[in-house]
Structure 1
Amino acid sequence: MEFIETKLKGAYIIDIKPITDERGFFSRSYCSDEFKEYKLNTNAVQNNISFNEKKGTLRGMHMQKAPFEETKLVRCTRGSIYDVIVDMRAGSETYKQWIGVELTADNYRMLYVPEGFAHGFITLEDRTDVSYQVTQFYTPGFEQCFRWDDPSFDIKWPIEPVVISAKDQSHLLINDGVGEPNI
């Protein structure tokens, strides 16, 4: 695998290195030894699948608060998404900065999302599946959410959302009282 560090310290784009022959290819999509070389969390406790019926489905921006912060390893297994993370680590040099990465079933690319980052995505195709490993179990009452269109982040989504849950639409803007994360 190739680990490409992003401008957000601790966040990586991970590309596979396929070994090809007449059958197709073989590649690792996870190796704890390689992840440990980059000092990445290898303690996945759960794997989640998100199925999204419509292009333009937006999910996010979500994270969990202390003491249940989670690391995610995100991959699109069918269709395509624009995956976004925002650094919400108070005191970080890149606090409130974001990156977006196109993950597709065809490019096999993954995004490593460290603790302290809000995460969300928008689907670029109908019938898109997203799979992600997480290092913590979901803990009700410790989720922290931010608006996908919060001007504090100024995320440039590639398309307009057409499907957003009522819950994701109802999150307050940081300046309207959601406050700073206590991470």
Structure 2
Amino acid sequence: MDFLPLKIEGSGLFIDRVFRDVRGAFEVFWELDEIEKAGISFKPVSSHHSYNTLRGTLRGMHYQIQPHGQAKLVSCISGAVYDVMVDLRPGSPTYLSWEAVELPAGCGKSIYIPAGCAHGFVTLQDNTTIGYLIEGIYKPEAAGTLRWNDPAVGINWPIQEPILSDRDRNAPDLKL
């Protein structure tokens, strides 16, 4: 497993070996000792899947207000996504910066998103499934949503009119 730091402070891309043969493929996308070798302390407490029927489905930008932040390790299980994080940590040198990585299924890549960052994605194919490992307990009262196209952040999405939930469509802009 290789680790490639990304521009958001503390984030990175894990590149795993994918073993392929006539049956298909096998990938290990999380091993504690490999994560620790990259200098990251990440001990997940829950695992989630997001099933998305249609291309152009956008989920995000979601986060947990500190001190209830959640770190995430995200991998695409089927289909493909454009996965985005925004640094919302006021003291961070990359505060309000965003980073995006395309994650197609079976590519051997997983993105690590530190606590304090907003996370979202848009599906690039129909029938896309995302898997998350999450460190930190979800607290509904600490849940926040940043508008996906907030001009203060300026995320360059590969889609103009996404399929959105009411929560994501009506999310507020940042108050700077």
Fold shared, TM-score > 0.5 on shorter chain? yes
Partner of 1:157: 157
**Which has the larger displacement, 43-52 or 19-28?**
19-28
Unaligned runs of 5+ in 2: none
* 4+ aligned runs moved over 3 Å, structure 1: 18-27
Counterpart CA distance in 1 for 2:127 and 2:25 is 25
Q: In the alignment, is the contact (CA less than 8 A) between 1:122 and 1:161 conserved in 2?
A: no
| Residue 64, structure 1, aligned to residue 53, structure 2 | no
> Residues 96, 49 of structure 1: CA spacing in aligned structure 2 closer, same or farther, 3 A cutoff?
same
2:16 is aligned to 16
Structure 2: distance between partners of 1:123 and 1:51? 10
- Pairs within 5 Å for 1:1-183: 1-19=1-19, 26-174=26-174, 179=175
Aligned residues: 176
- Aligned-pair Cα RMSD in Å: 1.6
What displacement does 1:67 show?
2.3
Are the equivalent residues in 2 in contact too, given 1:8–1:94 (CA < 8 A)?
A: yes
| TM-score normalised by length of structure 2 | 0.93
For the Cα contact (< 8 Å) 2:147–2:169, is it kept in 1? yes
CA drift of 1:75 comes to 0.6
Distance, in Å, in 1 between the alignment partners of 2:158 and 2:56 is 10
Q: In structure 1, what residue type is equivalent to 2:134?
A: V
Q: 1:22 to 1:140 in 2, by over 3 A?
A: closer
Q: After superposition, what is the alpha-carbon deviation per residue over 1:56-113, rounded to whole angstroms, capped at 9, x for unaligned?
A: 0001001101221110000110100000001111021111111110011131311000
Percent of pairs identical after alignment? 38
SS in 2 for 1:167: helix
What is the TM-score of this pair, normalised by structure 1? 0.90
Q: CA 1:169–1:28 in 2, change beyond 3 Å: closer, same or farther?
A: same
User: In the aligned structure 1, how far is the partner of 2:12 from the partner of 2:56?
Assistant: 25
- Asked if the contact 2:12–2:112 (Cα under 8 Å) also holds between the matched residues in 1, the reply is yes
Q: Which runs of 5+ in 1 are unaligned?
A: none
**SS in structure 2 at match of 1:72:** strand
C-alpha distance in 2 between matches for 1:161 and 1:138: 29
